[in-house]
Amino acid sequence: MADPIISALVNDLVGRFTSAAIQEYGLLKGVKNDLSALENTFKQIQGVLYDAEMKQTTQKDVEEWLRTLKSASLQAENVLDEAKTKAMIQRMHGEMGRKYKVRTFFTSRHNPLMVKTRIAHKVKNIRNKLEVIDANRSRFQLTPTNMREDVARIGGEFSNRETSSLVNLSKIYGRDAEKKMIAVKICNQEIGIRHEGDDVRVYAIWGMGGIGKTTLAQLVYNHEMVKTHFELKCWVYVSAVFDVKRIIKAICGSEDSRLEAMQVCLQNKLRGKKFFIVMDDVWIENKDMDQWDELCKSLSCGAIGSTVMVTTRKKDTAQLMAKIPELQHNVAVLSKEESWSLFKMLAFPGVGDQDENVRELELVGREIVEKCKGLPLAVKTLGSLMSTKERVDQWQLVNNNFMWEMQDNDILPALRLSYDNLLPHWKQCFAYCCLFSKGEEMSKDLLIELWMANEFIPSKGDVSLYVLGEEIFDSLVQRSFFQDVVEKDIDTGVMCKMHDLMHDLAQYEMGDDCAVIEPGKELIRSDEVLHLSLSCEDFELSKQDLKKLRSVRSMLYWNYTSNLSQISNYVYLRVLYLNRIKSSTLPESICKLIHLRYLKISLSRIKVIPESIIYLQNLQTLIIEECGRLRELPKGLRYMYMRNLQRLDTESLELQHMPVGIKELTNLRRLSQFVVGKDDGARIGELGNLNLLGMRKLKLRRLENVGGLRDAKNANLKDKTNLKSLELYWSGDERSETFDSEVVEGLEPNSGLQELTIWGYMGILSPSWMVKLVNLTSIQFWFLKKCEQLPPLGKLPSLKRIYMLGMPSLKCFHDDDRATSKDEILFPKLQELDITTCWSLVSLPNNFPKLQSLKIFDCKKLRSLPGEIQSFKDLNQITIKSCKILSRRCEKEIGKDWPKISHIPHLNIEPPPR
């Protein structure tokens, strides 16, 4: 395959010339010929990219030709995108009849004729550049090929074999003996208590990259012997820079940035406790020992037997930190049979040894496995790759590939082979991930939105770009480019990580297109950086570095302290992620960023979003997160300028209402909250006009502004089929009970809802739809001041958690939640029951068969615990505070209910007042 950026760019450009917006410019004199010539030239170049890629490894002049082609292609993409965007803006101005007037920066520069003339001039220049590039092509004797043939040549990406996006890697091969041996050693306090004056015991696991050090450490970390032996456990990913502050923060969560204060915080957490801390991927050398000594000042306060386990690629590091041989372990490679078992599990998922396809491919498969030299990551990556190939000839192509002759290291050929078998746009998506730090968790949602913003995902008819992005993500997971894939919760969604060697590969493939500035890496090498990630606190780029960003497309500033006004200078930005900015407003000049598709601002003082933002026609994602001062969104949203917006997240309690006309944002997939307006904001019915197909969680605020049952039904929540979590908020208490009861009745969600929160509701009656929520796992009631009886919850088959706070009128659970016979099982899955400030509550249901945790605070009239509490086999925690009557009944040794609960492992019962 050709360079992923070049080939994907050219493939994308070839399809752009036929768009209606671009064709408008063809009406200008001479432009039609220029556009046609550009399209034809790109098509001719497209055919030779595969051959150029093959030759660039040995021919420097081909490599330089590809670099020049990429530069011209990026310029062409910018011009075509600008033409399309300006055409959309002009069309919108016409449709709106210039009703909406806001101070902008377009003036004469936005005059339709001047815009078209300027773009025509740019198209002419690019045509001239590309003709020179195309003329040079003949010097290299490049052979035309067909892309689909290229794919077939390297293994047939278009295989019809059915595969799963997530491979089950729960079975680890060849590590049982090592796991047990290490667990026994670190739990043996007699081994290496002191290291010649060093008070911290260190166990080191070392070996080359990809051999399975992290996996082995994880197995030990989760070993039952280790779990029971140590009081406190913690996992820290360290990587190349040994940053003491970052390590301490990861262990104890200190928010203070002063080292001394952080050390005190860590000492307070560890003092007197037997702890086990894993520091993964450590690269410490002699020159870094001062940093290690600083950390040891805090670690030395633990109990005898406390252990720090480090994983490292370097034997020297292992010997520096774990000073006695008994506490050093060199990880062995897998045996041939262990390697084959791991490979087979991945290459033939769900298929037995006797399957005809397995027998046919086993001989060549074993040859491939032997070339992996027992390295688990290489075996895993190749196994995942081969699961996409069915025929012997496809397997032989991999087995005989010249990549195996690379001598850089043993694992690189396996990773490069798998990478080369990706489609061009998949390569772009993978390589872009190097913008994240090593070991960092990456959100699937964020990755897809960033890929969309950079136009890495080719469109396919009417299929949503997000859905197509999910297919790419799943394909990269299935091929082992991502690992540790887990769904955190409904709001966060799926998270994943990259192995550090995969990260190295992504960084290598991105080259100088990407600049990642971290502590110890403050450098921009290239004059044409496309993607910038900056995670240093209080770090500002120099003027020289800023000049290198004239072509930048992504800026991910995790801690941004610079002047916001200069942001508008980076006119080719597609992605802008700003964290902790100090300004209270964005500059109106942000409208100059016409290519911008992703904008996120978090943990900042922003109060106002300028009206000019509506001219960002391409914007797909707008996230204003944890910006508690934001009071209003741009009114201009109602005029349909931002038709491409797919996600709108606005986390601010100060937001007064949604803008009127938000219903016109018909492409919205996700909306974090909807604040109901009254006189000057959007009514709740506008929510009903939005499909929101990607919305998993929704907060409805200021529900006191809803006009009653019919108005509430207009929200059409029942048809929001992907909604899994719903939070309902009322403000103030000057309402009738009947009014709130009608509103909540009209807000019926779909039956697939899993989490429900109700806050500030003033009604007495519970909604009839609550008993239909068969998938509900968690319910929270906050400040329901007039509610006297809970809705019937006992028969909800999936309910695991009930949380109640501030319900002073609540007297009892629903009558239906009291079993009438021994055969009737209520609350079949409830694990947590948390009750706070329910002053009128007198009694609880008798039976919660699966209850694990019971917490009761400030319930003055509660007389007793559940009648069958002695039979709750899973109950391991009871907390009772500020409950005079109940505390007396549960008082140690003398309380009437003490015999029923004395066997519970964790009891925290506040003594009754005397």
Paired with 555 in beta bridges are 532, 576
Q: What is the largest CA-CA distance in the chain?
A: 99
Do residue 107 and residue 215 come from a single domain? no
pLDDT band, very low/low/confident/very high, at 167 (cuts 50, 70, 90): very low
Do residue 180 and residue 325 come from a single domain? yes
- Domain boundary at 509, 534, 567, which? 509
Amino acid code (one letter) for 157: E
Which segment, 144-153, 404-413, 555-564, is predicted with the most confidence on average? 555-564
CA distance 810 to 37: 77
CA distance 178 to 212: 12
Q: What is the pLDDT of residue 690?
A: 92
CA distance 642 to 617: 5
Looking at per-residue pLDDT, the higher value among 798 and 375 belongs to 798
Nearest 5°: phi and psi at 635? -65, -25
Do residue 734 and residue 865 come from a single domain? no
Q: What is the pLDDT of residue 163?
A: 30
Domain assignment present for residue 433? The answer is yes
Do residue 200 and residue 286 come from a single domain? yes
Domain assignment present for residue 299? The answer is yes
The CB density around residue 233, as the number of other CB atoms within 10 Å, is 14
Q: What is the pLDDT of residue 463?
A: 92
CA distance 232 to 277: 8
pLDDT > 70: what percent of the chain? 88
Q: What is the pLDDT of residues 118-129, one digit of tens each?
A: 888 888 999 999
Q: What is the pLDDT of residue 606?
A: 85
> CATH number, domain at 190?
3.40.50.300
Do residue 797 and residue 885 come from a single domain? yes
Domain assignment present for residue 186? The answer is yes
DSSP letter at 315? H
Mean pLDDT of the chain: 85
Do residue 802 and residue 902 come from a single domain? yes
- Domain boundary at 493, 509, 525, which? 509
pLDDT band, very low/low/confident/very high, at 155 (cuts 50, 70, 90): very low
CA distance 151 to 388: 12
Do residue 402 and residue 492 come from a single domain? no
Do residue 323 and residue 190 come from a single domain? yes
Q: What is the pLDDT of residue 287?
A: 78
Ordered DSSP codes for 236-268: EEEESS--HHHHHHHHH------HHHHHHHHHH
Average pLDDT over residues 448-454: 97
Least confident interval from 102-111, 209-218, 389-398: 102-111
Q: What is the pLDDT of residues 667-698, one digit of tens each?
A: 999 999 999 998 889 999 999 999 899 999 99
pLDDT band, very low/low/confident/very high, at 152 (cuts 50, 70, 90): very low
DSSP letter at 812? B
Least confident interval from 3-12, 69-78, 846-855: 3-12
Domain assignment present for residue 536? The answer is no
Domain assignment present for residue 642? The answer is no
pLDDT higher than threshold 90 for residue 547: no
Amino acid code (one letter) for 542: S
pLDDT higher than threshold 80 for residue 461: yes
Q: Does residue 216 sit in helix, strand or coil?
A: helix
Residue in 848, 843, 816 with CA at minimum distance from that of residue 832:
848
CA distance 248 to 242: 11
Let me know if 828 is exposed, middle or buried by CB neighbors in 10 A (0-12, 13-18, 19+): middle
- Domain boundary at 509, 539, 564, which? 509
Query: How many structural domains compose the chain?
Result: 6
Q: What is the pLDDT of residues 731-769, one digit of tens each?
A: 987 778 888 999 999 999 999 999 999 999 999 878 999
Domain assignment present for residue 280? The answer is yes
For 129, the domain range is: 4-153
DSSP letter at 332? P
Average pLDDT over residues 304-329: 90
In which order are the strands placed within the sheet that holds 554-557? 514-517, 531-534, 554-557, 575-579, 598-602, 621-625, 647-650, 670-671
Average pLDDT over residues 212-234: 91
Helix axes 213-221, 176-186, angle to 10 degrees: 60
Do residue 868 and residue 815 come from a single domain? yes
pLDDT higher than threshold 80 for residue 170: no
DSSP letter at 19? S
Domain assignment present for residue 680? The answer is yes
Do residue 354 and residue 304 come from a single domain? no
Average pLDDT over residues 329-338: 90
Average pLDDT over residues 702-715: 95
Residue in 602, 654, 659 with CA at minimum distance from that of residue 629:
654
Domain assignment present for residue 629? The answer is no
Do residue 257 and residue 391 come from a single domain? no
Do residue 314 and residue 197 come from a single domain? yes
Which segment, 246-255, 348-357, 555-564, 871-880, is predicted with the most confidence on average? 871-880
8 Å CB contact between 264 and 295: no
8 Å CB contact between 891 and 862: no
Ordered DSSP codes for 823-860: T---STT--EEEEES-TT-----S--TT--EEEEES-T
pLDDT higher than threshold 60 for residue 246: yes
pLDDT band, very low/low/confident/very high, at 397 (cuts 50, 70, 90): confident
CA distance 456 to 465: 10
8 Å CB contact between 379 and 149: no
